[in-house]
Amino acid sequence: MKVAAIQMVSGISLDANLSEALRLLRQAAACGAELAVLPEYFCFMGHQDADKLLLAETPGLGTVQDFLADAARDLKMWVVGGTLPMATDDPLHAANASVAYNPKGQAVSRYDKIHLFRYDNGREAYDEANVLVAGETPTTFDCAARDGQHWRVGQSVCYDLRFGELYRLLAADVLLVPSAFTHTTGQAHWEVLLRARAIENQAYVIASAQGGLHENGRRTWGHSMVIDPWGQVLAMQATGPGIAMAELDMTELQRVRQQLPALQHRKL
């Protein structure tokens, strides 16, 4: 199954972001992608965190969800909408939701980011809990490829990457990590964490990122990647908008798991 990790440098205009996302999704589809994953906050990167509350959508209803459904149906491929703000019972907090759509344009899975990022090095400070509610449920979905092969796909978002126990619970063939890693933390930890998650879970990893200098002044690391179960980087988009594409091979995944049956050797 050919997959695409889509990298963007999203700005403050919803319409402009959706237009750019569609351009990249079309490019991925033209190259044969069956599954395309957009980055975290692909639809909006506001001047401040609270701005995303203005765009929070009702589950199953909204401009961004309609866009994702239409794109998946029109392009006849699986589309995972990185993340978008989803309304909660608390008007001052939204969920950071990653929604997966099948080639018929149907929403088949929603994962709300469980681990909320907080960081302060004296120069940069972030605290997602100010405007986001943490999710509680590890989430997977079944992705049927065109060749009839079924893949168990595990969902996660950005900061989740630092919590290896989540990926053990997912027990997936493919791990998704749509992200907006800061340049500082990404430069230090992004690739090593992604490769570790691939190796220890003997799974493919599709990590779609924000990658560049945004209108709001934030700088993200980028380096969107597709990684195989042995930890090798199969494709990468370093900076700026673009696509990292690779072929997932179930035979290769099974070979790795058979030759080094680490998953069977777990004691805890």
Tokens of 186: 């990404």
Scan for tokens 């965190």, then name that residue. 49
The identity of residue 100, as a single letter, is A
Q: Roughly what angle, to the nearest 10 degrees, separates helices 14-30 and 63-75?
A: 20
Contacts of 131 (CB under 8 A, 6+ apart): 49, 50, 52, 53, 92, 93, 94
Question: Does 40 qualify as catalytic in the annotation?
Answer: yes
Q: Which residue is catalytic, options 20, 34, 40, 128?
A: 40
**Whole-number Å distance between alpha carbons of 247 and 160:** 25
168 close to 201: Cβ distance less than 8 angstroms:
yes
**Whole-number Å distance between alpha carbons of 218 and 227:** 26
222 close to 210: Cβ distance less than 8 angstroms:
yes
Nearest to 40 by CA among 153, 206, 231, 267: 206
Q: Which residue is catalytic, options 34, 57, 128, 158?
A: 158
Q: Which residue is catalytic, options 52, 113, 128, 143?
A: 113
The identity of residue 241, as a single letter, is P
DSSP strand E in 180-232: where?
204-207, 224-227
Q: Residue 5: helix, strand or coil by DSSP?
A: strand
Contacts of 91 (CB under 8 A, 6+ apart): 53
Nearest to 79 by CA among 25, 151, 159, 146: 25
Nearest to 12 by CA among 217, 164, 163: 217
The catalytic residues are 40, 113, 158
